[in-house]
Every structure is written in C-alpha cells, then in structure tokens.
C-alpha cells in the first residue's frame, strides 16, 4: 500500500489513533487527525506527536475536513455509523480500521482472538504458550500495544497474537488471520449495535477472508458461535466442556484432550491449573487448540497452564478477611461474563453490580441470583433498571458508591462466603475505565479491618 503523498485522515486520537498518525507520517502520507474531544482533554497528544506535520481538528468532526481525505482510518472506539463517515463513504472515500491498515504492512502470520468474554485471558495464554515453546510473539491489539505499532517495527517476532473487538472488525477488508478464534457470543454493546444479530455478525467477520489452509477455533457449546462452523472456508477446530469433538479440545475426567485435524490425541492435566472458573476452562481449550496448530510443543502448553495465575480484574482473588473471600471481576462488563463468574463459585455470594447500562437483558442472571447470591448491592446509572429486573430474586439494595456497596456486603457476609465485584455494566459513569474501578475496589477491600464485634452484633449492622 503506497502512502507517499496520500491524504489520510485518522479519526480518534487516543493511544491507537496517535500510533496510527505516527505510522502514516513516517511513510510520507499527508496526515490529518480528527478528535471529538478538545485539545485540552487530550493532555498527552501534543507531546507524543510533536514535530509531525499533521493538520488537526479537535472538539468535533466537520464534513469538509472528512471529504478532503483520500483514505480514512478509524480508531477502535469510533463508530462507523457516524454521519460524517457515511457521507465520506458515499463519496467513494475508503474507510478502514487501524487493524486493517496494519495488516496490509504485516510480514508475520496473525492469531486473532475475539468473542464477548475471555479475549484478554486467551490472548495472553496463547502468547505465553508460544514463547514457552520457543516462538517469539507480539501480543496486543485491543490490549496493550496496537497492531499498527507492531507493523511499524522490525516485526522480529514470529507471530502476531491479537485481541480484537467487534469495533475493530467492523472496518476490515483484507484482514486474514492464520488462526481465528471466536470464544462466545452473549449480549453486549447493544447501546452501539441495532441488534444482537448485528453484534454477532461483526464478531464473525474475523473469519471472512480465511482460506482452506487457515484455522477457525469455535466454541461448540455456544449455539451462536457454533453456527459459524458451517459458514467458514477454513479448517474448523472446536472446543467443548460438554462433549467430545472431532477436532479440537474437550474435557475428559480432569483432563483436556486435544485431537488434531489428523486424528492424534494429546492429554493436558488440569490438577495443577491455578485459574478458576468454567469460563477459564474454555479459554484454556481455545488457547491449546490455537497454539498446537501454530507449532507449539505440548510440554510448553502444560507448563504455561500450571504457571499462569490469571489477569488483574478478571475473577481476581483480592484478600480473605475473617474467612470471607473477596474477588475483583471488574472486567465482567456484560451479563454473560457475570453468569460465568457466578458459576465459578460453590460458596454463597454477596454480589456488587451496576455501572453504565449497556441496554442488554438481565434475565439470564435471575436463576443464578436465586441459587447462589445471598445479597446484591447495585451502584451507578444502571442500578434502577437492574433493581427493577432483579431486585426480587435476592436481598437487594441500591448503594450510592462502591465504598457503600462493599461496606454493606462486608457487614453481612459470614465466614465461608464470597464478596464479588462483577458489575455486568461498563464503568464510565463513575470511573475512567474498568481498571480504575477494579483498583478502587481492591483499595476499599484492603482498607477493611477485621471485625472485632461479636457475630450477633456485626451481623445486623448496616449503613
């Protein structure tokens, strides 16, 4: 792709957008940048892009600025439904994602991971497995470093292991991963997509350019995900907790069995695995399937399985106080994630949920709340709608802050029980992101003191 002298507009100037601007400028493009935030809100932008000959637009998007471009590259958070982007497309101006631009400059094969939940854990696992097997891997995309940053470097690693959101996949044209994984599909981002079907189709685009020598790794237990097995051109590898599969991974009495496309079986022990939860078994199976067809030896996979301790904010153990366990699952930003987190515990749970509503259906939580949750504290903008949908399923209160929610649960939890932050919502009403929310939860928990009052007294204390 020849960028010399080409007028290219980058829309969205956060981390990925800034890296894209630098990439384009270094290749001789005539770069423009458009950002809905003001220059003051983007405090680090002038410093990171100092010295580049770029025409800027801050505080909104103007049509004349867009129509002057020959190519438009959108950052992950920018919806392709923006009116200015639609009008640009109507004028014949190509609109692509940063991932698509990066792919056109890659010299290394890609392993792409998408799905509603588990993407970051699976992406990290695959990167660790490849490295343990002696294959250097770039790990990034929707986590860590943008793919365009890898494309800009010497590409010394053998693989690019990339987490992809539905937003990033909306803007692809030629993007073709050697291995593509779709972990699961549950309702999410319905504040951006017109329907669950549209959201699922955006995820499924990860397979659309694959050929017969590529691999599609799919969850056989998720009907919506499994439906792609009959639509892809690539070789299908399945993973399942519930049944044996012809090629891929499945559970068998404390082991994960991998059966390759040629029919050979391998066994991976689970008795020393540190991460908990049924969803992490699925993540492990997907990672094993992808890593094996990428040439990673079995012993490297087993080593990583036993050493991997999980990621921050993803069903992360925080502390035990007076026999009560605290878990931070701030990354549980949709209903499907919370369902899997609740299923991971046998202990009675005190749940803290809420945040910015994504307009999904809270119904799938009802049975689990009745079965597993002794009480629930709701916070944030979504608390009223969540209370209306779920408040009758267990003891439920509406709290004004995360601190108040933790104190309420802590005043009632008994030894042997769990206090779990798993919001089912985004964090943007009260926090900068889910990481800040999770860190604040841990600060609150680590500030709690052991209870000195007798049980008869503290059991009844409330805010």
Tell me the catalytic residues. 119, 142, 189
Structure tokens at 246: 């012809």
- E strands within 380-434? 395-398, 418-421
Element (H, E) at 371: helix 366-372
Strand order in the sheet with 30-35: 54-58, 30-35, 7-11, 71-74, 95-97
CB burial of residue 64 (10 Å; 0-12, 13-18, 19+): exposed
Contacts of 83 (CB under 8 A, 6+ apart): none
3-state DSSP call for residue 251?
strand
**Is 336 in contact with 324 (CB distance < 8 Å)?**
no
Contacts of 364 (CB under 8 A, 6+ apart): 186, 335, 336, 339
Count Cβ atoms below 10 Å from residue 101 Cβ, excluding itself.
25
Distance, C-alpha 436 to centroid of its chain = 16
Cα–Cα distance for residue pair 394/409, rounded to 1 Å = 13
Q: Give the angle subtended at the CA of 36 by the CAs of 34 and 40, to the nearest 5°.
A: 95
Count Cβ atoms below 10 Å from residue 184 Cβ, excluding itself.
24
The dihedrals phi and psi of 385, each to the nearest 5 degrees, come to -65, -40
Cα–Cα distance for residue pair 300/348, rounded to 1 Å = 36
């Amino acid at each position: 792709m020849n960028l010399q002298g080409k007028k290219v507009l980058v829309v969205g100037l956060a981390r990925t957008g800034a890296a894209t601007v630098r990439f384009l400028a270094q290749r001789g493009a005539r770069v423009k940048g458009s950002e809905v935030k003001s220059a003051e809100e983007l405090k680090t932008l002038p410093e990171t892009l100092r010295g580049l000959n770029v025409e800027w637009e801050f505080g909104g998007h103007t049509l004349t600025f867009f129509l002057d471009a020959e190519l438009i590259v959108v950052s992950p958070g920018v919806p392709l439904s923006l009116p200015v982007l639609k009008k640009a497309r109507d004028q014949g101006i190509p609109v692509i994602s940063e991932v698509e631009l990066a792919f056109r400059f890659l010299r290394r094969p890609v392993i792409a991971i998408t799905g509603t939940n588990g993407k970051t854990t699976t992406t990290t696992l695959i990167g660790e497995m490849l490295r343990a097997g002696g294959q250097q891997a770039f790990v990034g995309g929707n986590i860590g470093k943008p793919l365009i940053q890898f494309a800009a470097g010497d590409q010394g690693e053998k693989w690019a292991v990339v987490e992809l959101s539905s937003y990033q996949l909306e803007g692809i044209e030629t993007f073709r991963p050697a291995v593509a994984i779709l972990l699961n599909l549950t309702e999410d981002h319905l504040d951006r997509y017109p329907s669950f079907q549209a959201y699922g189709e955006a995820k499924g685009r990860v397979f659309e350019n694959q050929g017969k020598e590529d691999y599609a790794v799919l969850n056989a237990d998720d009907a919506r995900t499994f439906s792609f097995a009959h639509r892809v051109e690539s070789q299908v590898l399945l993973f399942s907790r519930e049944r044996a599969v012809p090629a891929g991974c499945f559970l068998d009495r404390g082991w994960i069995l991998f059966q390759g496309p040629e029919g050979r079986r391998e066994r991976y022990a689970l008795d020393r695995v540190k991460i908990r939860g049924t969803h992490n078994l699925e993540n492990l199976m997907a990672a094993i399937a992808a890593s094996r067809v990428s040439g990673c030896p079995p012993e490297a996979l087993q080593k990583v399985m036993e050493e991997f301790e999980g990621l921050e904010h993803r069903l992360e153990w925080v502390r035990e106080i007076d026999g009560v366990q605290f878990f931070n699952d701030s990354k549980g930003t949709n209903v499907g994630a919370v369902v899997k987190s609740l299923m991971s515990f046998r202990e009675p749970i005190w749940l803290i949920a809420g945040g910015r509503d994504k307009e999904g259906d809270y119904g799938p939580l009802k049975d689990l709340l009745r079965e597993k949750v002794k009480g629930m504290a709701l916070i944030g903008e979504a608390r009223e709608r969540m209370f209306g949908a779920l408040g009758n399923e267990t003891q439920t209160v509406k709290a004004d802050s995360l601190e108040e929610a933790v104190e309420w649960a802590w005043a009632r939890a008994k030894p042997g029980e769990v206090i779990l932050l798993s919001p089912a919502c985004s964090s943007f009403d009260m926090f900068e992101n889910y990481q800040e929310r999770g860190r604040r939860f841990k600060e609150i928990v680590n500030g709690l003191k052991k209870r000195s009052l007798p049980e008869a007294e503290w059991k009844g204390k409330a805010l």
